[in-house]
Amino acid sequence: MRTGILFGLTLAFLFIHGAHSATITITNNCSYTIWPGDLTANQNPQLPNTGFELASLASTSLDIPNPWTGRFWARTGCSTDGSGKFTCATADYGSSQVSCNGKSAIPPTSLVEFDIALIDGQDFYDVSLVDGFNLPVSVTPQGGSGPCKSSSCPVDLNPTCPTDLQVKASDGSVIGCKTACIAFNQPQHCCTGNYSSPETCPPTSYSQFFKERCPQAYSNAYDDQPGLFTCSGGPDYKIVFCP
């Protein structure tokens, strides 16, 4: 099941070593520390920094090869226990390390996805809630040509998340919002089996919860409006958590 229209493409040449087509700057506008992570598609060489700590109001920048397909997210509520095991309350990946090292986030998690210079030098990018939600997020091109619009899910969905989709912390606060596919694992919610087409897997009240509040973001497997954004001319990008 895809989390964005192009993330699952299988392509032979995703990396040209030594060529950097974009700088992606990640900013934490939340009032607390987060731990961003990233994953390069198809297990091609991962970025040098696949996971890191980012204090409130801090930023860090990553050089992105050309072409490149991958995703970014942020973990919350992370800590290291006495044995050195690193764990997070949301968007963890189960490796017990700060670096993600080729592993993707365990849902629910808000995602920003990219295809950099993949087709005729054009970039494609989106915000996806198909894996659920844990943090508000935005992505904005810096420079470039063409539409080059920002995309975002700027609303904190956790306080209004439907009860049967909620992920709670030990104190009872809601820290994540699952999709119906993740919560119930049923074909009609996951768009699988007899429901594996746009005609047989229309939006549900659960997917509409996400779409109505974050209309620019993908909300289910066949939600293509207006989720995918494009920009040409080699822009850089800014990702902001809690924009």
Per-residue pLDDT of 49-84, as tens digits, reads: 999 999 999 999 999 998 999 999 999 999 999 888
Is 195 contained in some domain?
no
Is 138 contained in some domain?
yes
Mean pLDDT of 11-27: 62
Determine the pLDDT at residue 29. Answer: 98
E-strand spans in the chain?
A: 20-28, 35-40, 59-65, 68-75, 79-80, 86-87, 111-119, 122-128, 137-142, 151-153, 166-168, 174-177, 229-231, 236-241
CA gap 92, 112 in Å, rounded: 16
CB atoms within 10 A of CB 73: 30
* Separation in Å, CA 173 to CA 20, 90, 178: 42, 13, 15
* Separation in Å, CA 188 to CA 133, 182, 191, 199, 219: 20, 12, 6, 11, 14
pLDDT band of 18, cuts 50, 70, 90: very low
Task: Summarize pLDDT for 86-126 with one digit per residue, the tens.
Answer: 999 999 988 889 999 899 999 999 999 999 997 788 999 99
Taking a C-beta distance cutoff of 8 angstroms, is the pair 97, 86 a contact? yes
Task: Quickly tell me which residue has 């009240």 as its tokens.
Answer: 205
Is 176 contained in some domain?
no
Note down the domain range covering 232.
20-156+216-241
Task: Summarize pLDDT for 118-150 with one digit per residue, the tens.
Answer: 778 899 999 999 999 999 999 999 999 999 999
* Separation in Å, CA 232 to CA 15, 69, 84, 138, 222: 18, 15, 44, 19, 25
**Least confident stretch, 19-28, 94-103, 193-202:** 19-28
Token pair of 99 as six digits: 């670096």
CA gap 50, 43 in Å, rounded: 12
Q: Is 163 helix (H, G, I), strand (E, B) or coil?
A: helix
pLDDT band of 216, cuts 50, 70, 90: very high
Taking a C-beta distance cutoff of 8 angstroms, is the pair 178, 167 a contact? yes
Is 235 contained in some domain?
yes
Is 1 contained in some domain?
no
Determine the pLDDT at residue 46. Answer: 95
Work out how many domains the chain is built from and give that number: 1
Is 209 contained in some domain?
no
| CATH code of residue 119 | 2.60.110.10
Task: Quickly tell me which residue has 């990553």 as its tokens.
Answer: 62
pLDDT band of 9, cuts 50, 70, 90: very low
CA gap 149, 171 in Å, rounded: 39
- The pTM for the full model equals 0.89
CA gap 73, 24 in Å, rounded: 13
- Non-local (6+) Cβ contacts of 203 within 8 A are 211, 219, 220, 223
Token pair of 156 as six digits: 């904190």
Is 64 contained in some domain?
yes
Is 200 contained in some domain?
no
